[in-house]
Structures are given as C-alpha cells and as structure tokens.
Amino acid sequence: EVQLVQSGAGVKKPGESLRIYCKASGYSFTSYWVAWVRQRPGKGLEWMGVVYPGDSDTRYSPSFQGQVTMSVDKSVKTVHLQWSSLKASDTAMYYCARVLTGTLDASDVWGQGTMVIVSS
C-alpha cells in the first residue's frame, strides 16, 4: 500500500526550532517529488514547496522561501520540514503529499498531517 506517515503533533515556543517528518512506503521513494502543504486552523490550503528525494532538489513557494527548509533522508525514505525559529503564525496543520508526475502535478497520496502549535 502506498503510504505517507507523518510525525506526531508538536507544541513549541516562539523562537524554538522544529523538524517534522514524512515517511514513505509502498512505492519508489526516489522517483516522486513530495510537496508540503500548510493549513492554518479553519483556513484553506497553502502550497509551501516540493522536494525531490532522488537528488534533494527543492522548489519553494515565494511565500515560504527562507522561512522553512525541506530535506531528505534516503536511507529511511523520509522527507523533513524544518523551522529554525518558529513564530506564532506557524501554528497550523502541515501535510506532505506525493506529486503525481514531475514537479508540477496534482498530489495523489497524502500524509495524515502534523499539527504544529507555537505558543508562549
């Protein structure tokens, strides 16, 4: 079964760092781009960018460039999303999702989401 399983919820203070993960199984991990999507409480979906596990290439949305870092650990078929200094406005659900083909396509498989809460 093709699956993306994400790390559990995290509660952090402003200024702290955080790394969440998305672990793939059931398909050729290095052949598909993986997207990250943010959803703030009660709001819509925002595309953050994509990472290619084959060579760790990344493409960020201008809105998220410099705010987060996407990375890959091929040895454990996992992609990561990282913040160096969290803000309260980073409070959201974060989804990873496999991109159908190439860098630009719909996403057919989604993780269950990781809730990140940033509060003092």
Give the residue with the Cβ less far from another protein, 73 or 108. 108
* Residue 35 is a binding residue for another protein (CB under 8 A): yes
DSSP state of 44: -
* Residue 107 is a binding residue for another protein (CB under 8 A): yes
Contacts to another protein from residues 59-98, by CB under 8 A: 59, 61-62, 95, 97
Give the residue with the Cβ less far from another protein, 29 or 36. 36
Give the residue with the Cβ less far from another protein, 18 or 50. 50
Buried b (16+ CB within 10 A) or exposed e, 33-54: bbbbbbeeeeeeeeebbbbbbe
Q: Can you tell me which of 10, 23, 27, 47 binds another protein, judged by CB under 8 A? A: 47
Give ∠ CA 21-60-103 in degrees, rounded to 5: 85
* Residue 114 is a binding residue for another protein (CB under 8 A): no
* Residue 104 is a binding residue for another protein (CB under 8 A): yes
Contacts 24+ apart (CB under 8 A), 99-103: 99/32, 99/33, 99/34, 99/35, 99/50, 100/32, 102/33, 103/33, 103/50, 103/52, 103/59
Task: Provide, rounded to whole angstroms, the least separation between the CB of residue 17 and another protein.
Answer: 25
For residue 23, what are its two tokens?
């672990």
* Residue 57 is a binding residue for another protein (CB under 8 A): no
